[in-house]
A and B are shown apart, each in its own frame.
Chain A
Amino acid sequence: MASSISGNLTAFESIATTTVGGGGAASVTFSSIPATYTHLQIRAIDVEGTGSDYTYTTLRFNSDSGSNYTRHQLLGNGTSASSYGAGSLTGISANIGSLKAGYFSGIVIDILDYANTNKYKTLRSLSGTDQNGAGFVALMSGLWQSTSAINTVTFTPGTATFSQYSSFALYGIK
């Protein structure tokens, strides 16, 4: 039996959206992020080039390109599963980016306690692209070793540019 529920869950708010136009984009940045939420969520689809297979999108906070990031991942490539971790990185490989035109990656990234100035910043993500005969899905975690509140998030494609129709949406969770 179907039922309708009315009303919004008021803790989840849309902050900003960027959709890439016909010329592609060398990066996507969310800036001036207010410190009034508890967590951030980024929901996105992307293609980062032409060909096939996948790449990793790099994420940085507050324009910090120092060696202040670490990450781990579980990756499935349709044939086998693997694990990887690294520290002292200049950015976090936060998600799978598709390299096949028309076959967009789906991406959900949670950034926890982003405005808390007493702790380092942690993110987790679920992302993947299926390309009907190839496919890649990953669970990732990342750490920014800074107690600064996050006010800027920058995505940089793993290869050339974010392709047209790639879209990144930033949400705040109270």
Chain B
Amino acid sequence: MATTYTPIATQTLGSAAATVTLSSIPATYTDLVVVVSAAVASSSGDLLMTFNTDTATNYSYTTLTGNGSTVTSSRSANRNNIPCDYNGWLATTLGNHNCIISVMNYANTTTYKTALTRSNNAPLGTDANVGLWRSTAAINQIVFINNAGSNFIVGSTFTLYGIKAA
């Protein structure tokens, strides 16, 4: 059996950054997994994701989310990005937030791309999201920002893995 689940790259921020880009992603895997543990300098916000260089309104998502009091679901269409969280958003304390993103069949040039995320910020909430990029292009780049416009702080980590099916 073929061993897989290969680390491709890690970005550990040595200085604050407004954007984190995982680029030159090879098309040799089946799925991608991104593990994020990050915080922002100020003004907590959502972790937002785009693919390749597409910032047009080709994204949408649906969330299932809880904040410790209520559980809700919402969705948003024709967006410029996919939020990876909702109640479990980025905070200013490193270690409070984590997010695991599975980008399914990312190199397939026949289908739109679906991403599943589980995001948590223990003091705030927890989320399960599904996102869609309406493109059949293979994904070769993933870009992360946050919607509050605040920098990711030093020590934030973004780790990319590739999983290859037999």
Contact = CB atoms under 8 A, between A and B. Distances in A.
Interface of A: 1-17, 43-45, 74-81, 102-108, 126-139, 165, 167, 169, 171-172
For the side of the interface on B, what is the size category? 35 or more
Given A102-B112, A137-B130, A165-B108, A74 B64 contact: yes
B129 interface: yes
A134 to B, nearest CB: 7
Dominant secondary structure at the A interface: strand
B97 interface: no
Contact of A130 (B6, B108, B114): B114
Dominant secondary structure at the B interface: strand
A128 B128 contact: yes
Interface of B: 1-14, 30-31, 60-65, 71-75, 77-78, 102, 104-105, 108, 110-112, 114-116, 118, 128-132, 134, 161, 163-166
Contacts of B128: 74, 76, 126, 128, 137-139
Contacts of B105: 45, 104, 167
A103 B131 CA distance: 11
A106 B114 contact: yes
Contacts of B63: 76, 137
Contact of A4 (B9, B74, B75, B108): B9
Contacts of B3: 8-10, 12-14
